[in-house]
Structure 1
C-alpha cells in the first residue's frame, strides 16, 4: 500500500515537546500506535487518551486494513491485548460480510483469549449487569466458535481460570458446534467443570506446596526433584523456563539438568517457536546478575536452605541467554562490510518509563535491546546514545546483552533531553558518509538549545545534499504517539514500529522497495 503525501503545510504539526513534527497517514499512525501499545500509561499520553485516538483512527481506515493489522499484531508482533481491542472496535463498525469472523479467529492464539476477548467486548461496549454480553456480534460469535474448535482438553484445562467470564460462560454465549463426538464430550466437561487438571509447572509446584513434610530438608529435596522432573518432562514451556531461572538455581538442580536448561534456552528452533520479545531475555539476564526481587513464594523458604542455590552455574545461563538473543537476530540482512551504519539510541527522560505497570524493563531498554541486536549484524557500524548531547560508544559486536548493560550503565553521561538532531549534526560537520542512519526513539525529538536551523528535518536535508545523497534514515518508533520528527516516505526517511525482533523483517521489506505497511497488507485472513 502506498499513500499520497499531504501538502507541506497540512503535513506539519508539533510534537508533545512543541517541536516541529509531521503527521502520518491514519494507517501509518494506527500501525505505530498498535504495535507499541502496552495497555499502560506512556510518558506523554494516558491509556484512555490513546484508546480514544485508536478508535478515531480505526474509523478512518479501511476495515480490511484494520483486520489485517489485528492479525499481524497477534501473529507477527506477539501482542495479545491490543489485537482483541482492534477486533472489538471493528465489530462495532463493520458488518455485511465475514471479515470480523475471520479476524476474530485469527487473533485467538490461546484458549484463554476466548474469554479475554469477551471481557474486552464487555468493557469497550460498556455492558453491565444483566446486559453484560447480550447482543454479541454474530460475526464475532462465529469467529469464536471457530476458535473453540481448535483447542484440546490440555489447552482448555491450562487456561480454565476463575475470571469474571469463565470458559463455561463463553461456551454458552458462543454455542460452538462440536466437530465430532469427542469434542462434544470435551465441551460437556467444560460445562460440568470436569476438565482434567493439566500437568504444568504451576499445578505441580502448587500441589507439592500443599503437602506436609517431616522437615525443611525433606521439603527442599522434594522441590529439587520436582524441578528436575519438570525439566525432563518437556512440559515446562519456554517462557516459563525463562522466567524461572532463579527458582531453578535456588532449587539446586543437578548440573546435568542445568545443561538441559541451557541447551534449550540457546536452541534456535526453540527461540523461534517461543516468540518472546527480545527484552524478556534482558529481564532474565538482569535477574541473574543483579537479583532485586524475591523468588516466587513457593521457593522462598528454600533460599536459606540451599545457601543461594547453584550460583556457580550462572555463567552457563548467561551464555545460553546470549546465544538465544543471537538466534533471535539471525535473519537480519542487508549489512555487509561495504554498508556503513550509524545506530543511535534515545535515552531521554521520556524513554525511562516502564513498558507495563509490573515491569522493571523501561522503554529505553527496549530501544537499547533492538539496537544491539541490529548492531550485532552490522559489519561497518558506529553506535551511540543521545540525550542533551550525543556520544558514540565502542562495544564488541557479539555481546548483545552485555552491550545493553554497558549503555544502561552510561546513559547519564549524555543527559536526558531529546536532542536527536545532534546525531545528524555530528556526521554533517565531520562529513562522514553513512549509508544508513538508525534512530531508536519515541519520536519526541526537539532542540533544547532552541538554535534555529538545527531541527533534524533541516539537518537531514543538508546531510543528503552535502555529504551522502544516497543515505537512508530509519526511525524505529517505540511509542507510537502519532507524529514523526521527519517527513516519512520523503528524502529516504522510513518509519518502523514495534518491540519485537520482527521489526527487522520490516527493515528487510523496506530494503526491497516495500513500505512498512506492505507486511500488514500481505496478511491472509
Structure 2
C-alpha cells in the first residue's frame, strides 16, 4: 500500500514566521511554548505593538524593552530586512509609533556597533505624516539626549522635505507640540525641494521664533489666506459657511469650530467643512454630524466617501476603526457605508475552497484595550478577522472559545458589523480543547488568538489535535514571546497583525509556494 503517493497529496509550502519544532518554554498560562527566531518574534511584536501601552501579560516597559532588544539584534545582522519591515510597518500596516521606534533604535544599534550605511534610509522610511519628524526627534532626545547623530538628522531631514507643506504646517505645527516645525528645521536643516518650500521653511522658522511679517501671499497663498481669515470672519461670519473659502485658507475642522463658536449654525458649518475633510476626520466625526443635524444630502456625500474602496485603501485605516465608528454613531444612516468600508478594508482576506474551521479567541487576555485612548481590544480584531474569513470561505464552521467553546451563527450574506455582536466572553484560553471539540475532518484550521494557551489537564499544544497533513494557521494578535505551536514548516504557520495584509499568505502556502514577508513583493 502506498504511503506517500495518494490522491489528495499536495505540495507543502513554507511561511516566513518560523519557530522551533519542539517547545522549550511556556506560554503565560503554562502551556508548551514555542520560541521563534529573532525576525519572527520582532515581526509579530511590531505588527501588534502600540508602544508604551500595558498589555494583559506584559507591562509597557517590559514589552518596549523586548522590542528594542529585538530591533537592535536585527539592525546589525540584516539592516536591509529591517528597512523593508519599517517601511511596510508604517505604510502597509499603518503602525506609526512602532515604525518610529524600530527605525530610531535600529539606527542607534548600528551606530553603537560602528556599522556604516542604512541608518539614514531607515529613519526616513518610518515617517509618512508631517508631525512625525517632530515625533522622531522627541523620541530620540527623550532617550538619548540632544546630541543627534548625522544619519538620524539626515533621515529626519529627508522626511521633513518630503512631508512639509502649507496645509501640514497649519494642521500639525501647534503649541501643543514639544518639537514645532521650526525646531525640526533648526536641528536637522533639510534642503527645500522647491522655491515654495524654501519660503515655507523660512516662515516656519519666523513663526516659531516670533519674528517676520507673515507669509508672502505670492508664494504661500494658503498660509496668507489663513492668516487673514479671522479678520474676515469678524467682519462677515458667513465666510465660515463657504466651503471654498475654508479649503483655500486651509482651516482644519478643529480650528474652524473653535473660531466660529456659536456664531454660525453648526450644521451649516459642518456641511461647509465636509468637502475638505480627510477620510479619518470624516470617520471620527459621524456622531458630531448627527448631533449638529447635518442634512441627508451632506450625510449621503460622507457615506459615499466612506464606502468608496479607493478611499478606504488610500486611508489605510485598520479594520477596527470602522467598528469603533459604528459603535459611536447613534443613527442608522452610516451603517451601510461603514459595512462596505469594513469589507473593503479586508480585501486581502481570501476566499478558501473546501471546509475551514475558524476559531476565535474570546478569553480574558483578549479583552484588554489596544491603547489607553481606545475602547477597542484584541477580541474585537479577532472577531472581525475570524468572521470575515468564515464568510468568504466556501464552507466554514465559526467557533468562539475561551474556557469553553461554542459555534457562532453566520451566513455569507450577513452584515459583518452585526455578526460581531453575536460574540460573548468566555474566560480562559483552552485552545487545545476547542480544537479537539470542533475539528471534524476540515481542510484547514485557522486560530485567531494571542496564543497564550492554558495548559489544561493534559498540557497538549493545540495544533497537535489536527492531523499533520492538514494546515493549521495561527493569526497572532499580541506578539508575546512564546507561541502555542510550531510555525514555518510542516503545515503549521503563524501570521500576525491588526490589518488584513498577511492573509494573502494562506493561498500561497496552499499552492505549495513559499510565502515571504508581506513587504517582499511591495
Q: TM-score, normalised by structure 1?
A: 0.83
- Deviation per residue, 1:369-427 (Å, 9 max, x gap): 121222232121110100111211211233111011111xxx14xx3010111232124
Following the alignment from structure 2 to structure 1, what is the Cα–Cα distance between the partners of residues 435 and 131? 47
248-257 or 94-103, larger mean C-alpha shift: 94-103
2:282: which partner in 1?
241
Runs of at least 5 residues in structure 1 that lack an aligned partner in the other structure? 128-132, 214-218, 290-313
Following the alignment from structure 2 to structure 1, what is the Cα–Cα distance between the partners of residues 296 and 126? 40
Q: How is 1:427-438 mapped onto 2 (pairs within 5 angstroms)?
A: 427-428=438-439, 432-438=440-446
1:142 correspondence with 2:154: yes
User: RMSD of the TM alignment (CA)?
Assistant: 2.2
1:71 correspondence with 2:71: no
1:421 correspondence with 2:432: yes
Pairwise CA distance, 1:279: 0.6
SS in 1 for 2:369: coil
SS in 2 for 1:71: helix
1:271: which partner in 2?
312
* Alpha-carbon spacing, 1:329–1:3, altered in 2? closer, same or farther (3 Å): closer
Following the alignment from structure 1 to structure 2, what is the Cα–Cα distance between the partners of residues 517 and 76? 15
- Deviation per residue, 1:452-478 (Å, 9 max, x gap): 5x4314323xx33xxxx3x21111100
Q: How is 1:12-411 mapped onto 2 (pairs within 5 angstroms)?
A: 12-39=24-51, 40-61=53-74, 62-95=78-111, 96-125=115-144, 127=145, 133-134=146-147, 136-151=148-163, 152-162=165-175, 163-193=177-207, 194=214, 196=223, 197=226, 198-209=250-261, 213=263, 219=264, 222-231=265-274, 233=275, 235-288=276-329, 314-336=331-353, 339-397=354-412, 398-407=414-423, 411=424
377-386 or 196-205, larger mean C-alpha shift: 196-205
60-69 or 271-280, larger mean C-alpha shift: 60-69
88-97 or 113-122, larger mean C-alpha shift: 88-97
2:210: which partner in 1?
none
1:445: which partner in 2?
453
497-506 or 267-276, larger mean C-alpha shift: 497-506
* RCO comparison, higher one (Cα < 8 Å, 6+): 2
Following the alignment from structure 1 to structure 2, what is the Cα–Cα distance between the partners of residues 69 and 102? 12
Native 8 Å contact 2:29 2:455 kept in 1: no
Runs of at least 5 residues in structure 2 that lack an aligned partner in the other structure? 1-13, 208-213, 216-222, 227-249
- Deviation per residue, 1:119-170 (Å, 9 max, x gap): 1111232x2xxxxx22x12112112222222232112221112211111111
Native 8 Å contact 2:319 2:499 kept in 1: yes
Following the alignment from structure 1 to structure 2, what is the Cα–Cα distance between the partners of residues 26 and 181? 46
- Deviation per residue, 1:39-70 (Å, 9 max, x gap): 21100001110111112212332222222211
